[in-house]
Amino acid sequence: MGKLIGGFIAGVAVVAVLVWAMAGSLMFREVPSPFGVEETVARIQQNIQAAGNGWDLVGLRNPGKAIEQDGGNTLPVLMVEACSTRYSGPILKNDAIRFLSILMPCKISVYKKSDGKVYIGLMNARLIGSLFGAEVSALMSQVAADQARFVTFDPTKPAPPMIKGTPGGAATGASGAAAGGC
């Protein structure tokens, strides 16, 4: 009986270590891009604008800019921010799950690594959504399907221009982060 309990505890410990070691790679995805950073961003932006389902670009951020202003240097990193009122609305209207607003807007990171290649970083929306019940799981499964389309590129089509800053223009009160975004 002692061996059975010891084996069970050892098995639970091994599973816990594996889950801990793999959690990051499960919660986030990294996809290689065949294009440079700016072209990848531009193609993602175009795909978001064409996606429908209420998606809107709300910003483009350069997190490396602060490091550069502080005298440091980093490889290029740009973050595309988008939101869909179709998916954010139900979450923002529900007191029980409104804390998930921390996930808004949807961010897609495009960056170059020291190997010289460009990558796209995404949250695993389907997995994260599954942690918060049926309503959030259903919404985030749809977000995941849309995200897959955001990072699928047709290399035969020319690259669109990259949209810099807050799309729609903050000063005009148009859609985007300055006008409320998600």
Dihedral sign from CA coordinates of 122, 127, 132, 136: positive
Nearest residue to 49 via CA among 84, 12, 15: 84
> Would residue 107 count as lying in a domain?
yes
The answer for residues whose C-beta is within 8 angstroms of residue 68's C-beta and 6 or more apart is 74
Q: What is the pLDDT of residues 131-161, one digit of tens each?
A: 999 999 999 999 999 999 999 999 999 999 9
> Would residue 82 count as lying in a domain?
yes
Confidence band of 173 (pLDDT split at 50, 70, 90): very low
Confidence band of 174 (pLDDT split at 50, 70, 90): very low
CA-CA distance, 60 to 167, in Å (whole number)? 8
Confidence band of 26 (pLDDT split at 50, 70, 90): confident
Q: What percent of the chain has pLDDT over 90?
A: 66
pTM: 0.80
CA distances from 174 to 45, 56, 162, 179 (A): 17, 11, 19, 6
3 state DSSP class of 163: coil
> Would residue 171 count as lying in a domain?
no
- Look up the CATH number of the domain holding residue 145: 3.30.310.70
Q: What is the mean pLDDT of the chain?
A: 84
> Would residue 64 count as lying in a domain?
yes
What angle in degrees, to the nearest 10, is found between the helix axes of 133-150 and 85-92?
A: 160
Residue 164 has a pLDDT of 86
Q: What is the pLDDT of residues 96-123, one digit of tens each?
A: 999 999 988 899 999 999 999 999 999 9
Number of independent structural domains in the chain: 1
> Would residue 168 count as lying in a domain?
no
Show the domain range for 122.
28-159
> Would residue 18 count as lying in a domain?
no
Confidence band of 27 (pLDDT split at 50, 70, 90): confident
The answer for residues whose C-beta is within 8 angstroms of residue 151's C-beta and 6 or more apart is 31, 33, 44, 47, 108, 120, 122
> Would residue 71 count as lying in a domain?
yes
Q: Look up residue 128 and give its two tokens.
A: 């994260």
> Would residue 165 count as lying in a domain?
no
